[in-house]
Structure formats: structure tokens, C-alpha cells
Copies of this chain bind each other. A is one copy, B any other.
Amino acid sequence: MQATERMNWTDVRDRIHAMILDGTFGPGAMLPRDMDLAASFGCGRTTVQRAMTDLSDAGIVERRRKVGTRVAEAPVARAVLDIPVIRKEIEGRGARYRHKLLHQGLELPPPRIAAAMAAPDGAEMLHVQALHLADGRPHSWEDRWISVATVPEIVNVDLSDESANEWLVRNRPYDRCDHVIEAVAADPEVAAMLDVAAGTALLSLDRTTWIGDAAVTCVRLISAPGYRLISRG
């Protein structure tokens, strides 16, 4: 008597994945229909569906109605980065967090910012610059523009107490956000703030956040040397 094991959808996913990895189905090959796979695994079609959704999300297979499921040709490497709130990250390392407001004022944004936020010409925004410190040492420098049109009450908030990011997250949580990651050389101003030599290679992370189609804020975070973004999976 054969013991018939009950399979999870994760088991089904892993068995399909294994068949792709060991060459049973090579890049570009068609997989059987969900119903046939379900029959061969002895499970319902829904379970195969669930497994396929996961493989499809991971970019391992491509599914099209009427056509079927195909093993992806050029597997992209997908890195999922969790970018924590800076204060949480610092406190999570057991260090003391402090935040220093350097500048705050209504100004006309440079074209780069206005374009990223799809803002009309001549619209003033709140410009904020701040420094994040871990145990008193510079951790990162923040250069932020906030849309007064989207968040009018921001002009009356005291940002020396709470960081702009945390106020926004609590009071105007965003829908979605874009990120751009690049390497930059420290200009003299940033170098002085972060206490490094001008020209030092630093990681820059730009984030634009949106509520629906209205831009909330566009922030550039430049971190002190040694900062890394890590993704495990």
C-alpha cells in the first residue's frame, strides 16, 4: 500500500521549480496545462494555480491565457529590498537616534524635483534638509521636498521635534513609491555634514511617494560610508 502524501501548494511549487532547474523543462519550454499538472500531482487545479502565481510573481514562468505557461527565457534576478525607517534601523542596532533639522523653508524646487513630482511650474514646495545621527555620529543626510498642494498642513508642523518622514508616514501615508539607487561623490556641503572627505563615494537613495496621482514628497538620502542595501532570498 502506497502512502499517499498530501501536498501543500508550496510543495507543488517546489516540484515544478525543481523540474525547471534540473532541465526537465528548459528556458522557453511550455509546461503542461494546470489541469494536467493537477492530475499528475493528485491535487486540485486551485493548488496548481496558487503555485503558479508564486512562480510567475518570481519571474520564473510566464503565463498567458489561451497559450499556456512557459518557462521564462531570461530569468531576471529579483532583489527585494526592505528599506526601514531610519530611526528604527538605528535603534534596532542598539544605538541612540537623533535628528537635526538643518534647513526648512518654502522655495521653488529645481527642475529635477518638479519633474519627478509632476508639479506645475512656479509651485512652491517645502524644502527640508536634515541630518540623522546614530550615537551622535552622522548616519545619513536628507534633502527633501514636500508638496504643499498635497499636504498643506505641513507648513505649520515643527519638524525639529519629529522627522518629516515620520510625520508624513503617520499623517499622510502614501499609496506607492518609486526608488532610484545610485552612487554619488560627496560634494563639499554633504562631506562636511557627514564628516568625510569631499569626493568620497556614497550611496544615494531617492524616493518619491504618491497618494493616488498626487506626489507627496521627493527625498534624497545620502548615507555615510559603509552603508549597504542587502537582500537575502
Contacts and interface: CB of A to CB of B under 8 A. Distances in A.
Nearest to A175: B21
A181 B184 contact: no
Interface stretch (A61-69, A79-87, A96-104, A147-155): A79-87
Given A183-B183, A201-B202, A203-B181, A80 B83 contact: no
Contacts of A79: 80-81, 83, 179, 181
* Number of chain A interface residues as a range: 35 or more
Given A80-B78, A80-B80, A82-B59, A183 B184 contact: yes
Main secondary structure of the interface of A (DSSP, over half): strand
A7 interface: no
Contacts of A179: 77, 79, 229-231
A137 interface: no
Contacts of A82: 59, 76-78
Contacts of A233: 176-178
A194 to B, nearest CB: 12
Interface in A147-184: 169-170, 173, 175-184
